[in-house]
Amino acid sequence: MADISSQLVKTLRDKTNAGMMDCKRALTEANGDLEKAETILRKKGITKAEGKGSRAAKEGVVAAYIHLQGKVGVLVEVNCETDFVARNEGFREFVKDITLHIAASSPLVVNREDVPADKIEKERDIARSQMAGKPANMVEKIVEGKIDKYYSTVALMEQVFIKSTDNQTIKDLVKSKIAELGENIVIRRFNRYMVGEEIGTDKTAAAPEEAPTEEDVKVS
């Protein structure tokens, strides 16, 4: 099996706009052949996903999850372009997976851009304070790495999907579903509630004590 380097993955991603994990899987299937990997992505329709990202998504569903013991609740709005897709079983299964993920992984926002700027600056200050004694030219690189790590815990789209076996992010999952269904899909907003959370305080990114199962998820 060919060694799939991160640079090779980046090259394919730049050429196709496909997700990182989709590129890695295609390269693995193509044994490292860039041209064959691009063909694989095109056959699967994955390279078309990016082009649909600007299309209006005004249909969709609101999904609700309630944990069996009534300790965790999730409401999420996921949009698509047509009512036809909103009623599609594959779309609704995808929405169920999103509610399950939110309940288990406790994101704070949908996208990294939604994190307040003052919160990011606070995280940067904390990270810099931990860099005492390190060369100045290394500090900012390390700090930005820590900020990316922070995003991966609080931003839903940056989190690794809880059912993934190959570090597929929610962003990559959305792209693959766009390619599969042929419509733009947007996770618009969500709220997650847990019994005992204090009002007005930051939620943590920790999962609840007992992670929900797929059978617990209910889509309205």
- SS in 3 state form for 150-213? HHHHHEHHHCECCCCCCCCEHHHHHHHHHHHHCCCCEEEEEEEEECCCCCCCCCCCCCCCCCCC
* pLDDT score for 185: 94
217 SS3 class: strand
HEC profile of 56-109:
CCCEEEEEEEECCCCCEEEEEEEEECCHHHHCCHHHHHHHHHHHHHHHHHCCCE
pLDDT by 10s per residue, the chain, length 220: 567 888 888 888 777 767 777 888 888 888 988 888 888 887 766 655 555 555 677 899 999 999 868 899 999 999 999 999 999 999 999 999 999 999 999 999 999 999 999 999 999 888 888 887 788 778 888 888 899 999 999 999 999 999 998 889 999 999 989 988 888 999 999 999 998 876 555 554 343 344 454 444 444 4
**Cβ atoms 57, 186 nearer than 8 A:** yes
The second-level CATH assignment, the architecture, of 56-113+155-218 is 2-Layer Sandwich (3.30)
pLDDT score of 115:
92
Distances (CA, A) of 89 to 76, 96, 103, 172: 17, 10, 21, 20
> 199: which 2 tokens?
């009002």
Name the phi and psi angles at 194, rounded to 5: -140, 130
What pLDDT, on the 0 to 100 scale, is given for residue 203? 52
pLDDT at 5: 87
- Give the pLDDT of residue 86: 94
Distance CA 36, CA 26 (A): 8
Note whether 178 and 185 are within 8 A (CB): yes
Structural domain spans, the chain: 6-48, 56-113+155-218, 116-151
For the whole model, what pTM was predicted? 0.67
pLDDT at position 140 is 81
Q: What pLDDT does 217 receive?
A: 43
Residue 159's pLDDT is 96
With contact defined as beta carbons under 8 Å apart, do 142 and 127 qualify? Answer: yes
CA 135 to chain centre: 34
CA 134, CA 137: separation in Å to the nearest integer? 9
**Alpha-carbon distances, residue 197 vs 96, 166, 203, 208, 220 (angstroms):** 24, 32, 8, 11, 25
Options 1.10.10.1800, 3.40.50.620, 1.10.8.10, 3.40.50.80; which CATH number does 6-48 get? 1.10.8.10
